[in-house]
Chains A and B, each alone.
Chain A
Amino acid sequence: MKILVCITNVPDTTAKISFTDNNTKFNKAGVQYIIGPYDDYALARAVELKEAQGGTITVLHVGEADSDPQIRKALAIGADDAIRVNTEPADSYYVATQIAHIAQQNSYDLILMGRESIDFNSGVVHGLVGEMLGIPSFSPVMKLDIKDGKAEFAREIDGGKEYLEATLPLVLGCQEPIAEWKIPNMRGIMTARTKPLQVVEPVSVDDMTSLESYSLPAPKGECKMIPVEEAEKLITLLRTEAKVL
């Protein structure tokens, strides 16, 4: 089984977010980057499937060289090789086009990625890639098994779960608890160095969107503590100040 795992390179969840250039550019200064947490789960499940059934795992990232440490980490966790499409991603359609282009050249059985990135959170790349390749896509997938060329999986739906079965190839957007989250071990870190990381140039894509500006949510107000005995005051405040009642 050939598995492609697409990973994002995103600011750490604790990073302080700010913008430069008149709120048109994300300020990368001092920000730690990580593999997108949902992508991490997708990768972890790929490694589990490979350990149980054999196969190969390729990690794919659309981005510039500053993502290489995250790609190395994915290799340390257990991917066999990596491809980086050397470009600054413009939007979801742009990224999906690059992924689909790579997938067309290599015919993977399974294309896994996170349900969404945690920077722009669009959550549409898996759907777009599926459409571009003409194969089914599902998200958010929280359980996945492969039996006789078929995928058996569970998807989170409003208020419950949906159990599905589909034949490969497939594109799946993943989330926990699809796999046990993995930390690379020392040996993995050492061997990651010897695994191939291929850098390819992007295919050209028409501009579909352009960015006007970013804005931050309003800062959180002061927290007001109301003693139990004054519960009525809470109701008044919810009416008059928070205006939620």
Chain B
Amino acid sequence: MITETAENQTLIEQTVRDFAERHIRPHIREWDESQYFPTEVFHQMGELGLMGILVPGQYGGSGLGYREYVAALIGISKVDPSIGLSMAAHNSLCTNHILMFGDEDQKKTYLPKLASGQWIGAWGLTEPNTGSDAGNMRTVAVRQGDNWVLNGSKNFITHGKSGDVAVVIVRTGEPGDKHGATAFIVEKGTPGFSAGRKEDKLGMRASETAELIFQDCIIPDSQRLGEVGEGFIQSLKILDGGRISIAALSVGTALGAYEAARDYAKERKQFGQSISRFQGIAFKLADMFTDVEASTLLTYHAADMKDRGEKVSLASSVAKYHASETAVRVSNEAVQVFGGYGFTKDYPVEKFYRDSKLCTIGEGTSEIQKLVISREILRD
């Protein structure tokens, strides 16, 4: 069993590396500078099975587990974290929400399109005034016969503009009530549903982030995911798994920065010798490597628990917290190893430095992870 998983994982890593080298690496800078969201790349990733990794074969997915998902996500993020972020949002938020809580009709309608990468998915929980405190969301859905009428807006939504379908969690009860929200599937083009402003960001610039606006948007009840009042609880479960993907995104980001720094340190000469001979640089690299290794193990540990069907709130928060802080620290040190060249756009590390910061914010900030972790470890 172990060798089988390991062999699959190696093959997946090779596939992802070969794909990323050919179809992503040549465009990194151009996409970053122009904030271009390359939908065509996600269609190609769909053909490889990277857009429905966790979706069973019967719905057109790859039918793999979190371990393989993590391996693929690390491989993509190591080359371009912004493509990794979009892959994560599509797979573990939107697609996974329909997979976990959709009825058979909804799964048959949406999963094949999402898993093949034909459609790109978005997932909307955050609002302008409610981020960490998502339970207080203001966007509402009011029942009218067989329909629901949605009003309000969601912001910071990955694929808010280009997404073909979105899963949105909106208030159907009292603010702050755990049972006060419900999830719906909304297709692009539904009257009353539109995209707002696209954010101009520090990093993750090839991953589109935009606002979703609902103005008397009418959604049939058949688009409701699961029971009325279960939306917020569903989203917490989705985020439990989602944190594993942001942990993987972070590991990839850190690994990309570390490897670039290691290779550069071996080549760059100052005072007549390779800078890797200076203990100040060598120890930096040792620290970076150790942090990346620890984050990798924490992330695979959470993935394995998830694959075994165990509760992962604690493990995924620990992995996400540690890996994301590692990504920020390691990419910061990578710029330092590169010196002035690291500060220029001709070398890859300044982008890792900018991209990494999303990792400690998205899908629960580091402070919120500490809240989750402390709550879990202090529970009586």
Contact = CB atoms under 8 A, between A and B. Distances in A.
A186 B15 CA distance: 9
A69 B333 CA distance: 35
A190 B64 contact: yes
B183 interface: no
Nearest to A189: B11
Nearest to B46: A185
Interface in B50-81: 50, 53, 57, 62-64, 68
Interface in A173-190: 183-187, 189-190
A64 B161 CA distance: 52
A193 B53 CA distance: 17
Contacts, number: 43
Given A183-B19, A186-B64, A72 B11 contact: yes
Interface stretch (B2-10, B152-160, B209-217, B356-364): B2-10
A193 B9 CA distance: 12
A70 B84 CA distance: 27
Contacts of B7: 69, 72, 193
Nearest to B16: A183
A118 interface: no
Contacts of B57: 187
Nearest to A68: B7
A190 B55 CA distance: 14
B62 A184 contact: no
Interface residues of B, number: 20
Contacts of B49: 185-187
A186 B62 contact: yes
Interface residues on chain A, size class: 10 to 19
A101 B53 CA distance: 41
B47 interface: yes
Nearest to B63: A190
Interface in B109-150: none
Contacts of A171: none
Given A73-B14, A183-B18, A184-B15, A189 B8 contact: yes
Contact of A73 (B4, B11, B62): B11
A85 interface: no
A192 B15 CA distance: 14
Given A186-B62, A186-B68, 10 more contacts: A69-B7, A72-B7, A72-B11, A73-B11, A73-B14, A76-B11, A185-B49, A186-B48, A187-B62, A190-B62
Interface of A: 69, 72-73, 76, 183-187, 189-190, 192-193
10 contacts: A69-B11, A183-B19, A185-B15, A185-B47, A185-B48, A185-B49, A186-B12, A189-B15, A190-B62, A190-B64
